[in-house]
Amino acid sequence: MKCKVCKGPAVMDIRRHNAAFCKPHFLDHFRNQVARTIKEFSMFTSDDRLLVAVSGGKDSLAVWDVLIDLGYDATGFYLDLGIGGYSTRSKEAAIAYADAKGAKLIVRSLAEEHGYTVPELAKLTRRVPCSGCGLNKRYEFNRAALEEGFDILVTGHNLDDEVATLFGNVLHWNVDMLGRQAPVLEEKVVGGATALVRKVKPLVRLAERETAAYALLTGIDYVIEECPMVEGNTQHRYKEAVALLEESSPGTKNHMYFGFLNRVRHRFGDEDENFELVPCAGCGAPAARWDAAAEPVCSFCKTKRLALGRKQQ
C-alpha cells in the first residue's frame, strides 16, 4: 500500500476515495477535508468565537484539534453527565487535552446545574438514558454558548453519525427531522434575541475510522470506551447496518449522505408550520407553541419538572 501523494509506505487506506496515505499526507488530507467542509457550507470565519462540545472521545477532540491548528478561536466545553467512571475518565481526557494544547476549556456538571445526573434522570423519567442525555446536552451546549458569548457551536458528528441518523429518519419517515438534518443549523431568533446559536458539524466528510486514525497519529489521548448506558440506543444499530453495506460497497455512506443533501433535502421544509417558537415560560429558551392558549414550556423544562417532582416524592 503506497501513499497516493508521495508513493512512500502508507499507514491508512480510505477505500471510498480509492486512496491510501502516509502519516503526514493523511493528516493533511484530514485537515483539508475539514477546511473544505467549513468553506463549502460557509460554516464560520476566523472572526467568529467557536464553542466546541467536547465529550473526551476521538471525534470531538479531533475536530477541536484541527480547528485550533487551522487558526480558529475555539474553546472547548465539557458537560459532566455523571455517568460514573465513564464520565470521570472522559472529563480527565478533555482536561488533559486542553492542558497539553494550551486550549481554553469550560467544564460544567449536570448535577450542579440542575440537580440530577443522566442515570438518575433516566430512572426518574422512566425513559431510556439517551433520550434525557441528548435533550440535556443540546440544552446545556446552547445555554453555555449563549451565556459565554459564542457565535458558533461546533459538534464532532462524523459521516457515520450523520448517515446513521439519516437511515433512522428514513426508516421511520421522520419528515420533520429530515428537513432539519444538515451540516449547519442556522441561528434562531425568538422574541428579538438569539435563542439558538448556529450549530455546525465540520467532520461530516470524515468517517469514524478516520477520526480514530487522526487521534491516534497525532497522539491525542481520548476515551476509547463507550458510554455504559448505550444499550437500547437505536442509532448504534443503524450504524452497524450501514457499516455492513459500506464494507461490501465502499462509498455507500458518502453517496447516501451527500446525495440526500444535494438532491433530496430541499423537498423537506426545515420549519414546522404547525407551531411557532416562543420563549419558554420557565427558562426563556425556545419552546414550541402548538396552542396559543397554553403556557409555552420547553421540553427541557418539562423533563426537569417531571424529574425533580418525582425526586421530592
Give contact residues for Zn ion (rule: CB under 5 A): 3, 5-6, 8, 22, 25, 280, 282-283, 285, 298, 301
Q: According to the binding rule CB under 6 A, does residue 121 interact with ligand FES?
A: no
Bridge partners, 52 (sequence order): 76, 154
Joined grid coordinates for residue 124:
426518574
Asked if 157 contacts 63 with a C-beta cutoff of 8 angstroms, the reply is no
Task: Tell me the window of 100-108, 210-218, 225-233, 241-249 that interacts with ligand FES (CB under 6 A).
Answer: 225-233
100 binds, among Zn ion, ligand FES, none (CB under 5 to 8 A by kind): none
Return the exposure string of 1-21: e unless at least 16 CB atoms fall within 10 Å of the residue's CB, then b.
eebbbeeeebbbebeeeebbb
Task: Tell me the window of 109-117, 186-194, 222-230, 264-272 that interacts with ligand FES (CB under 6 A).
Answer: 222-230
224 binds, among Zn ion, ligand FES, none (CB under 5 to 8 A by kind): none
Give min distance, CB of 282 to Zn ion, in A: 4
Give min distance, CB of 250 to Zn ion, in A: 21
Looking at 14, 67, 133, 152, which residue binds ligand FES (CB under 6 A)?
A: 133
279 binds, among ligand FES, Zn ion, none (CB under 5 to 8 A by kind): none
Give min distance, CB of 44 to ligand FES, in A: 28
Q: According to the binding rule CB under 6 A, does residue 230 interact with ligand FES?
A: yes
Q: Count of residues binding ligand FES (CB under 6 A)?
A: 8
Q: According to the binding rule CB under 6 A, does residue 227 interact with ligand FES?
A: yes
Give min distance, CB of 2 to Zn ion, in A: 8
Q: Which bin fits 115, alpha (ψ -120 to 50), beta or left (φ > 0)?
A: left
Site string for ligand FES, 265-294 (x = CB under 6 A): ------------------------------
Task: Tell me the window of 155-163, 203-211, 223-231, 277-285 that interacts with ligand FES (CB under 6 A).
Answer: 223-231
27 binds, among ligand FES, Zn ion, none (CB under 5 to 8 A by kind): none
Give min distance, CB of 308 to Zn ion, in A: 13
What SS3 string covers the chain? CECCCCCCECCEEEHHHCEEECHHHHHHHHHHHHHHHHHHCCCCCCCCEEEEECCCCHHHHHHHHHHHHCCCEEEEEEEECCCHHHHHHHHHHHHHHHHHHCCCEEEEEHHHHHCCCHHHHHHHHCCCHHHHHHHHHHHHHHHHHHHCCCCEEECCCCHHHHHHHHHHHHHCCCHHHHHHCCCEECCEEECCEEEECEEECCCCCCCHHHHHHHHHHCCCCCCCCCCCCCCCCHHHHHHHHHHHHHHHCCCHHHHHHHHHHHHHHHHCCCCCCCCEEEECCCCCCEEEECCCCCCCCCHHHHHHHHHHHHHHC
Strands 198-200 and 276-279: unpaired
| Smaller CB separation from ligand FES, 133 or 178 | 133
133 binds, among ligand FES, Zn ion, none (CB under 5 to 8 A by kind): ligand FES
Give min distance, CB of 131 to ligand FES, in A: 8
282 binds, among ligand FES, Zn ion, none (CB under 5 to 8 A by kind): Zn ion
Q: What is the binding site for ligand FES (CB under 6 A)? A: 118, 129-130, 133, 227, 229-230, 233
